[in-house]
Structure 1
Amino acid sequence: MKHEGVGFIKAKRILSYGMSMRLFWVIYPLVCFIIAACLCVSAADFSVRFIEEASKNAINQSFKEAGLTWAHAEADGLQVFIIGDAEDEAERFQAISVAGSVVDAARLIDQTDLLDSSDGYTPNFSLEILKNISTVSVIGLMPTNSDRAGFLKKLAKAAGVDKHVNDLITATAYPSPVNWEPTLRLALAAVKETEIAKITVSAGSVTVETLADSLVEKRKLQTSLGRSIPKGIVLLLEISVPRPVISPFVFRAIKLNEGFRLEACSALDAEIQGQILKSIMAYAFEGKQSCQIGLGMPDVHWPKAIQNSLMALDRLAAGSLTITDTEIKLVGDAATPQQEFDQAIGDLENVLPDVYNVQGILPHPKTTSGLGQAEFIATLSPEGLAQFRGLVKTAVNEEIFESLAKARFGQDAVYSALSLDDSLPQDWSIYVLAGVEALSLLKQGIVTITLDEVEVRGRTEHETAKADITNQLIEKLPQGYNFRVKVEYAPPRKIEVYVPSAQECLVQINGLLSERKINFEPSSDRVDLEGHNLLDDLADVFKTCGEIPLEIAGHTDSQGREEMNQNLSQSRAQAVLVELQRRRILTSSFVAKGYGESQPIAPNDTEDGRETNRRIEFNLINDQTNLQSDDPTKPQSQPKEALDEQN
């Protein structure tokens, strides 16, 4: 028994020890986990507090450096609160921008307030739109009561479907300034008309800085934007035209008994043009002089070469001077003494740089024995009718000439009375063809060709036509053959295109709608076939009207749920807008709005009344408030017509 008691005690002790060890291995990891968790929480809390303090201190230091003493930052976790009272919206925006440069803008919470602006302060609302080939960016300050989302949508549409719009606009709770909305519409028109531009918008004015490919394109852009200017808005255009490449660079002057005449002049820029015109002023040139500005000047000494060449021409009793790039041709009158002419040529060669080559031609008096006074005369009337009289050498020459004339002036605009004379010189056909080409560059004129020279006189609507004719004759006429170009530039008359007023446009629309109606498919916003035909005719009217502020208002009868009718009227008004857009109508100033059953114009207790209430109305939008004007003293600005719709 004694031995059994001792064994029992030992077994009990062993069992107790085993249970203690088992409990130890359970409790020990749990304690370690709890300690580790406490350490992690402490570390996280320390990190958060460190980030809070670091962010807060860094932002406050930046505020101090920027002079924004009214603003301070407080941190709560990763969130940073900007607190303070700003004097105006510009200071508030500056504070947010400074804080955003220190920490991620997503962590910032704006809790700033504006001081009382009872003193009448109004921010300087302005936008700057930058448009390039692929993107459009807009930055600036606009009022919150202006439709920012709508403006950005219209901006993307005006810029083109492939353009991405970067929105950097800040909005502020101040009322819109006078003429703000029409100013935005003019800016959108400028975005649509330009490819690369900087457009600055402020209340009442729009400044457009852009490029045009040519003077013609510049004038087209000026005219197009000029028609889009709303009343009371100022448009400032700064349109640059890249300089064309002139090849060859040409200067041509003729000295006659009555004085000098300039027939062609090329200059690199306005400064070079000034130097050339200063040299010209030393001689008795007739009329107002100018040079075509463009790239391609062959040498930096071009103005000096012209000055020295004019001095040589002035030493002759009569003659012509033609400078083509670095080739200078001085042709003297046949009566000029040979020694005097050689002296002028020699002195000119001595003062010119080596790059220039001087050619002197002193023609001998021509003998025209057996030819009499050979002559060819071509005239062009203002209506475009061309008449040709005179001599040609062979029937083949006559056929070639008539083919060229009909190609240049038209099959039915050419009359010719030509005679054959095979005793004419071999180059005669070259003179005639060159004269026809020169005449084709005129609006009205006459070309006279003799054995001695070609003379071109007339008017043109193209600024560079005189230089183009001169270059063409230099290229095509034989060396030593004289020609004269006396062409006046007459700008084309401006044709004023009548654009009907908004009220007149709606009168025309109402005329179409008086007997025909737009129908929709039942319980749908899809326009039926008859409605599409009417929309085609309406689109023709809108194309003559330009851009007008218009509301397309949808209405329904009272059958069905109110919410359903509201949605249906909105979708139908939007469908009309989309159909007009598909017909390439300018709809940037159009708004589609559904009124549901809220504005009946007939009782809804009869079928005729319900049919009348199912309608679309076109209403003019007031420039300032985008609402219909209720001022009875003003002309009625909201003619409208119901377009029948089937619910």
Structure 2
Amino acid sequence: MRIPSSLLTTTAFVGAGIAAVLTAWTGAMVIENKSEAEVRSVLLTAGMTWADVRASGLQVRLHGTAPNEAARFRALNLAGTVIESSRVRDRLDVAPVRAIEPPKFSVEMLRNTDGISLIGLLPAAVGTDPNAPPPNADAALRDEILGFAGSLPVSDMLETAAFPAPETWAAALDFGTEALKLLPRSKVSVSADSVDITAISDSDAQKRRLETELAKIRPQGLKVSIEISAPRPVLTPFTLRFIKDAEGARFDACSADTDAARDRILELGKVAGVEGAIMCTIGLGVPTPSWADAVEAGITAVTDLGGGSITFSDADVTLLADPGTPQATFDRVVGELQADLPAVFSLKSTLPPKSDGALAGPADFTAQLSEKGKVQLRGRLTDELLKTSVDAFAKARFGADNVYTATRFDDALPEGWPVRVLAGLEALSILHHGNLTVRADTVEVSGITGRQDGRARVAQVLSDKLGQGQSFKIDVRYDEAFDPFAALPTPEECAKDLNAVVSRQKITFAPGSAEITTDANATMDALAKILLECPAMKMEIAGHTDAQGSTGGNLSLSQARAEAVLLALQGRRVPVAGMVAKGYGEGVPIADNGTEEGREANRRIEFNLQAPVDSPEVATAPDGEQTADAGATGNQPAAEAAAASEAAPDFSKDLSPSVAPKEAKLKPRPRPDRN
């Protein structure tokens, strides 16, 4: 059977069509798969796992959620590097923008003798005027630092971020700045909720004083870490001076390198006849570990001579015998001392000639320092150059307006006269008031000092400046009245002063309220001034009312008023860590509630000292020295208040006045001089 040609033709066309369709479909699948694989590969290589690639013919669609716009554009660009960018279809979403978390604000403040460095991140302050540029927090802090830096250079490496400041940031930064002002060698780390202070003090006494000052200005609710170290002082020169004469045995200066050496020296002094307390400084700079052995040999030598003085200035030793000491005794003692001293020491011994009893001539050079700080210079100097030097040195030490010079020239003065005069003036500057006499054979310094180590410091200066073998005399007495640390008030005195203020002018409140009236601002300022001068102590602020109104209402009102006073003091930068507020209501009357005068007297605020805090620098008054007045302090028993009534407090009949802080100032008030 013969197949028709038309059927063959049709079959050929159908077969060709099917082959073309299969070829096209296969080609499309190959192109889709290859494009999809290559785009997916380049995106995965770039770490864009969030992108989903789907090919449809020649088009490649990108699906998924990009973390941000930059990632979306990068994904599209990467896909365009593999295939024609016109074939890429953007079906990507972008994750919603999350609120940016504020950074951790912190400031490191470093201060030493070379300068002040500020490092950290500050919140940029936001101004109230939207059209005005915001205040510069960096510049504000730098200006505050420059206010007390003086000549110290300030390195500013601070940055700012446009975020609101944390709630406690201002108080923390203010406290840190005040701490930096107090501590000349310190590192202060400030964060939003804490302040860490590391510092070095010159002595234990200064360490305690600085810790007390920081406690006074420490904000409530702020975590504070304070580490103040007190290394032993460097004593230059390392000095000890022992004297035995008609007035008895004594140390003009005493230094030791260890506790054991100090105890040994003090015991030697007592055996030699020293009476009373002896101040002996433990410090660095000893010329040899055998210091105590050398001192023992020196004190023994003076005792064997029967009188005289021995001065150790580093490794230089000067032995001065009393006039009239037998030459044989002097030679024997000097020989033994020379043998007993460690090899590092150099000894110079002097036996002054016995005085013939003739009257001494006029003083060669004198300086008189008055209690008001005025100094008069009289006597003889070598020339105009020395006069100019002495006048300039005195003005630098005592003040340009406090120096009066009336000297004359004498070119026959002994060698070393300028050194003796200048050394004497430096020693005189240690005193509160006194006299200096410079003669050819000695330098004498006498007077009163407010420094407990004043006598030792004078001896240290003279022994260092005059040199080995030179004679000098010291008659310096410590007077507590001129000691700025001893003049600090005791807790009992502070409490007495507080109650004296509220006795003269009561703290007034709005009727039936715990709000302090503006009339009481002066009283609150006076109370804050006293408390800023006082040492750390535990104080109760006691609130009292009259008998009008309900018992429970009076108790609540008195408590609220006591707390208002506490808050008002805190707002004035008074440290309130040791204070508590307690209301006694009508339970502790001091007058008759039947009269208006009595009710007025019963409406009061009292300050009761709970437990005085002992301080090494502040003397505490004996127990029992308490006043018995209505406003007095001390161990005054407070009657327990009656139980509060469940009824609502009735304040309507209480017309006494009251206090609430109007503002909280961030900067502490300066401590006034207590003169």
The structure whose RCO (Cα within 8 Å, separation 6+) is larger is: 2
